[in-house]
Amino acid sequence: MKKIIQSFKNKKFRYGAFSTLIAAAVIAVLIMTAAVFDRLNIRFDMTQNRFFALSPQTMIVLGLLDEDISIYTLFPTGQENIEMTEILNQYAAHSGFITLANRDPIIHRAFVDQFVEDGRDIPNNSVIVTGPGRSRVIPASDIFIFEFDANAGSTVPAALNIEPMVTNALTYLMRKTVYKLYEIEGNNNIPLPPEFIDLMRHAGYEHNTLNLIMEDIPADADVISLATPQRDISPEEARKIIEYLDTGGRALLMIDINPGMPMPNLHSVVESFGVALNGFYVHEGDTSRHWPQQNRLIFPQVAQHEINSRIIENGASPLLLESQGIGESPLRRTFLTVEPLLVSTSASFGRNNPHNTAINQAPGEPSGPFPLAAAIEDFFTGPSGTYNTKIVLIGTSNIADNTLNQQSYGANGDFLIGSLDWLVNRTDGGMIFIQPKSLRNDSFLMLTQAEQNNIMVFSLWILPGVIAAAGIAVWLKRRNM
């Protein structure tokens, strides 16, 4: 017994006990640190391009929140997207007003169906952002930006668009003003694509449809839109549009060439405001300004204008397919101004025959440059006062096509939303531009849930156990010395 008691007073024992105590303290600190980091959701983004970090614009929006917001992901169980989830976790980590949850769309079908708009299903992997009284659905097709991969021979995900879409959904829920857009239909018009309608809603525009054959333009219309009808509008419809514009109306007009279908009434609307559509397809001769082997698929020059500020900031260009040029009409108004927005180069030319696939310009074909989109503004004084009319005219409706928007990295959508913002004299900032997260050439390591669990077990139990066993072994060895 005395030997045992004496051994506790031995210098070797005290040294070994001290070493074991230090090892235990280190293990305890590691466990406590890991627990605190997990509890507070503290993470460090070690990726080269800070893939998971939120932008300064998002941080400003989060700082302005004063109401509870819920973000729901619609991942089937076991198919969660790790990148999306991690980015969305940052929203909840930086604002106490945001909660994040997943709803399996198969199990929680009734929950998902309450957010359906216009009868369109909400696909898996979409995101729903909801607050008091309003909500925004972000379809999965808006979350990934695709590009063509020549090696794979197909389109592949090139960027993750989750932060731009979620942050703009938050600003929509915070915004007090919603602008009303009426889309004119009734002549077999090419309808606005659902993806563009979603984009407008995120930007704070309420989409409505209007048949001018049956009704007048409502007094609460902030802006009207018209995409190419498949037959000419009636004289009565033309009269209603011109009267609306002459009393300070605002219009987004996207007019295609329609071979073999004269449209004098539609063209009379445009020509009454000093411009005319020249009726030929613009071909771009500068190879740096068109899609490979497709010189009617054009990256136009972007002019300096308020509408283009977001595009210029991003160094981007819209992508236009089969656009016609815009010229002057004989009718000129005293205070009317026409400013080109998108322009082909001096190497471009016009061609009437859509079946002529020759690359080079033929004799007699008109030479560019040609305005492909223009901002028109007029001040008109009438019996009831002075009116300010605004029109954005685009020589193709394909600019709203979702595939072209993705291939332009969102520049088409930015141009159209910028046009609407200019038309309604928007002062609340409109859409917030945030660069999508590139999925190319990123060196970050993505782990499955099982791999994360294995690392946690190793870090919290196996590694500390090995250290403890080593400490005990050292103590026993020195004790027997």
Task: Answer with the one of 145, 177, 209 that is the final residue of a domain.
Answer: 177
Is 332 a residue whose pLDDT tops 90? no
Residues 161 and 194 in one domain: no
Q: Which of these, 219, 217, 330, 335, lies nearest to 268 by C-alpha position?
A: 330
Residues 303 and 411 in one domain: yes
| DSSP codes joined into one string, 38-67 | HHTT-----STT-TTSPPHHHHHHHHH--S
Cis peptide before 369 (omega within 30 of 0): yes
Residues 235 and 253 in one domain: yes
The packing angle between helices 56-64 and 162-174, to 10°, is 30
Average pLDDT for 462-466: 78
Separation between Cα atoms, residue 74 and residue 40, nearest integer Å: 25
Instruction: Specify the pairing of strand 69-73 against strand 98-102.
Output: parallel
Is 469 domain-assigned?
yes
Is 334 domain-assigned?
yes
The per-residue pLDDT for 46 is 45
Task: Answer with the one of 177, 210, 243 that is the final residue of a domain.
Answer: 177
Residues 237 and 364 in one domain: yes
Burial code (b: 16+ CB inside 10 Å, e: under 16) for 434-468 equals: bebbebeeeeeeeeeeeeeeeeeeeebeeebeeee
Give the position of tokens 């602008």.
179
Give the position of tokens 């709203």.
400
Among 17-26, 87-96, 182-191, 442-451, which is the least confidently predicted range?
A: 442-451
Task: Using pLDDT thresholds of 50, 70 and 90, give the confidence band for residue 36.
Answer: low
Residues 213 and 350 in one domain: yes
Q: Give 3-state DSSP helix, strand, coil % of the chain, rounded to 5.
A: 35, 25, 40
Residues 210 and 354 in one domain: yes
Task: Answer with the one of 177, 200, 220 that is the final residue of a domain.
Answer: 177
**Who's near 366: CB < 8 A, 6+ residues apart?**
278, 280, 349, 350
Q: Give me the number of domains the chain comprises.
A: 3
Residues 188 and 315 in one domain: yes
Q: Higher confidence at residue 190 or residue 185? A: 185
Q: Which of these, 471, 472, 400, 409, lies nearest to 435 by C-alpha position?
A: 409
Q: Please say whether the dihedral angle defined by the alpha carbons of residues 394, 400, 403 and 405, taken in this order, is positive or negative.
A: positive
Is 132 domain-assigned?
yes
The CATH number linked to 130 is 3.40.30.10
Judge whether 250 and 390 are in contact, CB under 8 Å. Answer: yes
The per-residue pLDDT for 442 is 44
Which residues make beta-bridge pairs with 183?
Answer: 209, 225
Q: Which domain holds residue 6?
A: 2-44+460-479
Residues 170 and 33 in one domain: no
Is 425 a residue whose pLDDT tops 80? yes
Is 51 domain-assigned?
no
Find which of 103-107, 377-381, 433-437 is predicted with most confidence, using mean pLDDT. 103-107
Residues 259 and 305 in one domain: yes
Residues 170 and 189 in one domain: no
* pLDDT tens string 250-300: 999 999 888 778 889 999 999 988 899 988 899 999 988 988 888 889 999
